Chains A and B, each alone.
Chain A
């Protein structure tokens, strides 16, 4: 009863504090809006005019056939191909985010593939697709088209060489005629490639809802998590504020165990945080048409990240000596966590060491989970991040409880 009393008071005073409401609700909503205006859109990703840099080092028909595929009318709305002289130039365009991928067609591709003889067991040639990690889906589309093309070439190559072996063994067809037959088979493969690309484009459109990386779906919860850390740091500071204004002493002088006061406070802060995230989730859905993902996994992430963030907040509150110290520490930690964890860009674009190091923050685990949802994942994909957040809560919470008990040891029953 006393625990619920403390928790309810915490929620009530939090949601009556205008400054807190701005940090908790207005700021994340506004920043999401700004980020989407600046870098993305407010709903699903529409794929069109994907810039692709093509380097055709092959002088023959196959290289040109692949270029023709990328320049075909069927793909005109989807792709924006540009022919580049060298692989270095093409990769530079990708590195500068001016292209979603670079397709580098090797020299002598046509002559290697169309040369007669028994079928090769190792790769004869490699078409390199250099992908932009910031444009995951677009790069995957370009790689898919190239794969499809290569697959048809291989099919044509294999059929041709089997035919060559069979006819040569029987000695019934002159070699020159056989060469013409093989080339016609390869050409048929090229024709088939074009037809298949059309089919691929349709598949991509259908697959968007499940395999697309939805920037808005990531950015909405990301901003909410960023400000959740700020508001929870404020929650941790409340212990010191109450100490300064004498209400903590007054509570400790009542027949209430200090641990119950702490549990009540934690429950209040966690509940206020969950409510904050749910309000933002609903508001973004209704006002910005931004979905965070399926409700079940989203709720699991919200609860887990609220617990972990609260554990951080309470730990700061029990370790800091003054309100100002807790405020500064909370702000610094929130900002570092946000920058290191990828609150402003997909985590998959961060260097690997930073992705691992940032797992000390609730942001990182939660963003990993939301990134999975943004890529079409479900509950099974967020389980590990959720467990990570709960383990973090357990460890930090235990340290916070010990600190609190040590600080207020004299009021123990």
Chain B
């Protein structure tokens, strides 16, 4: 018996007027009951993939089956099965938290007592029971994000797509959402989660697909992926805001002890065989060239190192 709930077959999207493929012949299966993360930098094609799987964008080529229903030929049936948590908060500011839940529940065919009970249950789960009657316009960003997730769950979908649900959120709300994802998964819900936060993918996922330029460049469990980079460790150097991380990364790339170096924000992320051994050479090269390192992290092999290894760039490039 096939235990996959999402079967993606050569899914491709080219936007009109663009020479590049936003999603390039993506083929993938997601198993029933797993948390699958699509990890990749901005512009990798994660949201376009989710949009096609949500039946919002027509694929240029290929198809996807959601629990056996084609997103191109049987989209109404496919849409009944999925719940969506979009990247941006997609709710009505002039409605209260409860009114939002009731509105979206009705859009999925729910009504009456079951809908009312489910709305209360969701409000409890996302910690907004005491604000149920308040209009969304009075909510903080984090509270809106939590409700955004709650609305995606109102009709108890078999699969929920979460498209970077924690972007720009406070730590407390972020923790709440991550715990909710794990909790839902334990109750049997399949979760397709996109993020460019390596830590979230590591914490949540049964399997991870690393995406870049519209393609899956690596796929597997976290252990399988980190094996790809062997015993490589990651050195993360923090610079002051006035210094150019790009210049330092270019400089350090020349060192023998450095496999890859990439700049993101005011950090330089280095992939190396032995971080303790490489550190003196790195610090020395930085000092000689006038760079002041404010602090250093040494990390075990992780998905960041995998991405760096595969693309030569940091995840948040």
Once the chains bind, are A250 and B58 in contact (CB under 8 Å)? Answer: no
B116 at the A interface (CB under 8 A)? no
Interface bracket on A: 20 to 34
Q: In whole angstroms, how far apart are the Cα atoms of A249 and B104 in the complex?
A: 12
B290 at the A interface (CB under 8 A)? no
Once the chains bind, are A410 and B88 in contact (CB under 8 Å)? Answer: no
Q: In whole angstroms, how far apart are the Cα atoms of A410 and B106 in the complex?
A: 22
B53's nearest neighbour on chain A, judged by CB, is A253
Q: Assuming A1-B106, A2-B107, A413-B76, is B54 touching A253 (CB within 8 A)?
A: yes
Once the chains bind, are A245 and B88 in contact (CB under 8 Å)? Answer: yes
Q: In whole angstroms, how far apart are the Cα atoms of A135 and B49 in the complex?
A: 68
Q: Considering only CB atoms and an 8 Å cut-off, how many residues of chain B contact the other chain?
A: 31
B312 at the A interface (CB under 8 A)? no
Instruction: Return A95 CB to nearest CB of chain B, in Å.
Output: 53
A204 at the B interface (CB under 8 A)? no
Instruction: Return B106 CB to nearest CB of chain A, in Å.
Output: 4
Q: Assuming A12-B95, A410-B58, A411-B56, is B107 touching A254 (CB within 8 A)?
A: yes
Q: Out of A2, A247, A253, A255, which one reaches B92, CB within 8 Å?
A: A247
Once the chains bind, are A253 and B57 in contact (CB under 8 Å)? Answer: no
Chain A residues with Cβ below 8 Å from B88 are: 245-246
Chain B residues with Cβ below 8 Å from A411 are: 55-56, 75
User: B43-55 interface mask toward A, CB cutoff 8 Å, 1 = contact, 0 = none?
Assistant: 0000000010011
Chain B residues with Cβ below 8 Å from A256 are: 107
A198 at the B interface (CB under 8 A)? no
Once the chains bind, are A9 and B95 in contact (CB under 8 Å)? Answer: yes
Once the chains bind, are A253 and B108 in contact (CB under 8 Å)? Answer: no
Once the chains bind, are B55 and A2 in contact (CB under 8 Å)? Answer: no
Once the chains bind, are B76 and A9 in contact (CB under 8 Å)? Answer: no
Chain B residues with Cβ below 8 Å from A410 are: 55-58
Instruction: Return A185 CB to nearest CB of chain B, in Å.
Output: 81
A191 at the B interface (CB under 8 A)? no
Once the chains bind, are B86 and A13 in contact (CB under 8 Å)? Answer: no
Instruction: Return B256 CB to nearest CB of chain A, in Å.
Output: 49
B111 at the A interface (CB under 8 A)? yes
B111's nearest neighbour on chain A, judged by CB, is A1
Once the chains bind, are A254 and B56 in contact (CB under 8 Å)? Answer: no
Chain A residues with Cβ below 8 Å from B109 are: 1-2, 255
Chain A residues with Cβ below 8 Å from B75 are: 411-413
A17 at the B interface (CB under 8 A)? yes
Chain A residues with Cβ below 8 Å from B167 are: none
A126 at the B interface (CB under 8 A)? no
A76 at the B interface (CB under 8 A)? no
Once the chains bind, are B94 and A16 in contact (CB under 8 Å)? Answer: yes
A20's nearest neighbour on chain B, judged by CB, is B94
Chain B residues with Cβ below 8 Å from A250 are: 84, 86, 90, 104, 151
Q: In whole angstroms, how far apart are the Cα atoms of A13 and B51 in the complex?
A: 27
Once the chains bind, are B94 and A17 in contact (CB under 8 Å)? Answer: yes
Q: In whole angstroms, how far apart are the Cα atoms of A5 and B112 in the complex?
A: 13
Once the chains bind, are A249 and B86 in contact (CB under 8 Å)? Answer: yes
Instruction: Return B17 CB to nearest CB of chain A, in Å.
Output: 14
A17, A246, A253, A412: most-surrounded residue (chain B CB, <10 A): A253
Once the chains bind, are A254 and B108 in contact (CB under 8 Å)? Answer: yes
Once the chains bind, are B103 and A5 in contact (CB under 8 Å)? Answer: yes
Q: In whole angstroms, how far apart are the Cα atoms of A410 and B104 in the complex?
A: 21
Chain B residues with Cβ below 8 Å from A2 are: 106-107, 109
Q: Out of A13, A245, A255, which one reaches B80, CB within 8 Å?
A: A255
A150 at the B interface (CB under 8 A)? no
Chain A residues with Cβ below 8 Å from B86 are: 246, 249-250
Chain B residues with Cβ below 8 Å from A34 are: none
Chain B residues with Cβ below 8 Å from A350 are: none
User: B68-84 interface mask toward A, CB cutoff 8 Å, 1 = contact, 0 = none?
Assistant: 00000001110110101
16 contacts between A and B (CB under 8 A): A2-B106, A9-B103, A12-B94, A12-B95, A13-B95, A17-B94, A245-B90, A246-B86, A249-B51, A250-B104, A252-B55, A253-B55, A254-B79, A255-B76, A411-B55, A412-B75
Residues of B whose CB lies within 8 Å of any CB of A are 51, 54-58, 75-77, 79-80, 82, 84, 86, 88-92, 94-95, 99, 103-104, 106-109, 111, 135, 151
Instruction: Report the 5 A-B pairs with minimum CB-CB distance, sorted nearest first.
Output: A246-B90, A410-B58, A413-B76, A5-B106, A254-B107
